[in-house]
Structure 1
Amino acid sequence: MNQQKNSCTILTDIELEEIEKEKHCYENQQAALIGTLKILQKKRGWIEDNIIFAVAKILKIPVSEVEGVSTFYSQIFRKPVGKHIIRYCDSIVCFITGYKNVEFEIINQLKITPGQTTADNRFTLLHICCLGNCDKGPTIMIDDDIYNYVDSHDVKRILELYS
């Protein structure tokens, strides 16, 4: 058993292998941080505190740096999330094109507010400052699927796609 595995027994052999591959893509191990967090989140759903410590040890960087990066990026989750992540754009452009009506309908349908997860763990609702579709707003994104020109009448139909 290698020394790295002994120090990070909370990670699986498969996770460690994937992290090693990620590290080899960069001259500096620190540059592999976001990719490493994404690998672990994909397998586990979110990044727990013990994962922060393990990643710091593997990449030989301070725990505070791993924590800082993991809390800065909106695509990294530091608490459990639902099976499907709903992101809706609340930029000024989407505001002008009517995102408030879409937001109201999502909240009404799911009975949660931004940052919350439904009781059945089906959906987590997050507002994002921009989804990069300013010419097609309002925009929502569920998992990797993007919906443009959404209005409140579309919300129920879209949510039903994710049962």
Structure 2
Amino acid sequence: MTTTPSQGVGLGMPQLPAPAYPDDVRARLETDAREIIARYPDSRSALLPMLHLVQSEEGHVTRTGQRFCAEMLDLTTAEVAAVATFYSMYRRGPSGDYQVGVCTNTLCAVMGGDAIFEALQDHLGVGNGGTTDDGKVTLEHIECNAACDFAPVVMVNWEFFDNQTVASAKRLVDDLRSGVQVDPTRGAPLCTFKDTARILAGFPDEREGAVEAGGSAGPASLIGLRLAKGETQPVRVVHPRGGGPQDQPSAERLSSAEHLSSHDAPQDTSASDPSHPAGPVAEEGE
């Protein structure tokens, strides 16, 4: 379908038409787009991975990319832009090769995330969402990424860097800018933001070891599950500040009087508080 300037986002003066991709780029993207569209019974369901595809081309979702998605999916550019501007994973302007996100949600914040974010802004000379002059790093604060037992967490292109400090976070961004190889704490090897976007579009991850790489919740999150299963071996937990491993109590050693909380071991509710046993509820009139 053909789009017109009036199909752009917003009110007021019509926007100028978006520039077109060069012919060779357009042909390559069309091949990839058809592969994506073929995965879905309804073509418009392919919009999210299509936006990742065009983001992998230029590092952000340009008006050219939005028009391309609209034409391939028979949508208006307004429909495409409404989705592209809703989700924070789609960048609306040029950004760095490495998106460095500092979690500033509650637990990470109190464990040092706020201090890390403030220090990195000063260290890099950018604000939230800003990109360094060399185009290497874009800094932003992010919401919870379900890694609270590794707080404070920094993410680079959505790969985890756990238990960070101000000093380690500064070293991390310095290494990224100077081209030193940086390995995430867990998960797949690091790649550029454009490469990440292509993987998120649904194309094979060609990084060596990426398929075998995995992540997991930390011991602090899993101890309750292990106790509920009746496991008796103490769980080894590495202190987040590098204080060395420590034994956690096993299910055998947790009695109803000494367990840490009513959620640490499977028990009847009345047994979880021996000082206030609960009996049957009496019927009215008894």
Q: Which residue of 2 aligns with 1:78?
A: 92
Q: Measure, in 1, the Cα distance between the counterparts of 2:104 and 2:158.
A: 18
Q: How does 1:47-126 map to 2 (within 5 A)?
A: 47-126=61-140
Distance 1:153 1:73 in 2: 31
1:128 aligns with 2:169: no
- Structure with the bigger RCO (C-alpha within 8 Å, sep 6+) is 1
Instruction: Verify the 8 A CA contact 2:154 2:162 in the aligned structure 1.
Output: yes
**TM-score relative to the length of structure 1:** 0.88
CA contact (8 A) 2:137 2:173 kept: no
TM-superposed CA distance for 1:106, in Å, is: 0.9
Tell which structure's C-alpha radius of gyration is larger: 2
Runs of 4+ deviating beyond 3 Å: none
Q: Aligned-pair RMSD on alpha carbons? A: 1.9
Q: Which residue of 2 aligns with 1:15?
A: 29
1:148 and 2:162 are equivalent in the alignment:
yes
**Separation in 1 of the partners of 2:20 and 2:133?**
32
Q: Cα offset for 1:36? A: 0.6
**Which secondary structure state, in structure 2, belongs to the residue aligned with residue 161 of structure 1?**
helix
Q: Say which SS state the counterpart of residue 85 (structure 2) adopts.
A: helix
Match of 1:159 among 161, 173, 185: 173
Cα distance in structure 1, aligned partners of 2:52 and 2:31: 14
Match of 1:33 in 2: 47
Distance 1:128 1:144 in 2: 10
- How far does the alpha carbon of each residue in 1:103-151 deviate from its partner, in whole angstroms, 9 at most, with x for none? 1221121011111111121111121112221221111111243111111
Structure 1: distance between partners of 2:114 and 2:20: 46
Q: Percent identity?
A: 24
Q: How many matched pairs?
A: 158
SS in 1 for 2:139: strand
